[in-house]
Amino acid sequence: MQANGWGRIINMASIYSHFATVNRIDYITTKTALLGLTRAVALECARTAITCNAVCPGTVLTPAIEWRLRQEMQRDGTTFEDAEASFLSIRQPSRRFVKDDDVAGLIAFLCGPHSGDINGAAFPIDGGWLAGR
């Protein structure tokens, strides 16, 4: 990037970069550290055309989350839709999973030519989760 005089660094953090919760020490520590790394690299690159930002998704329906929902279904005898509604009700005010395509779209924008002055930022994409905290 330095040789080319231009670049975009995007760190995949998490909404958990902004707050803590129990039983997630390892995850929260690493995701919070990514915000510090993002800010430090942004300052290192501030006088260049290289930027460094972080994307902080809320809950995306991944295989791991689907497994958790299926476990809840078995435990509580509920439908997938009920397990999903229960899971999201304490997280994302939108009551929907963040779409991976929306995360990709944000990353594409940050990698594009119109993001040259966005540097050292952390972008929540979380259905309003952080706003409600």
pLDDT over threshold 90, residue 132 = no
**Residues 72-84 pLDDT 10s:** 999 999 999 999 9
| Mean pLDDT to the nearest integer, 85-98 | 94
27 and 3 part of one domain: yes
| Full domain range(s) for residue 65 | 59-97
Active-site annotation holder among 6, 19, 27, 67:
27
Q: Could you tell me if residue 132 is inside a domain?
A: no
The pLDDT value recorded for residue 4 is 92
On average, the pLDDT of the chain sits at 96
Strands 122-125 and 50-57: parallel
**Bridge partners of residue 11, in order along the sequence:** 54
The pLDDT value recorded for residue 85 is 95
The pLDDT value recorded for residue 133 is 85
- Per the annotation, the verdict on 27 as an active-site residue is yes
122 and 92 part of one domain: no
Q: Could you tell me if residue 49 is inside a domain?
A: yes
pLDDT over threshold 90, residue 61 = yes
Q: Strand, helix or coil at 16?
A: helix
The greatest distance separating any two alpha carbons of the chain, rounded to the nearest whole angstrom, comes to 58
122 and 83 part of one domain: no
Distance, in Å, from the CA atom of 50 to the CA atom of 117, rounded to the nearest integer, reads 10
CATH number at residue 30: 3.40.50.720
**Residues 28-46 pLDDT 10s:** 999 999 999 999 999 999 9
Number of domains the chain is built from: 2
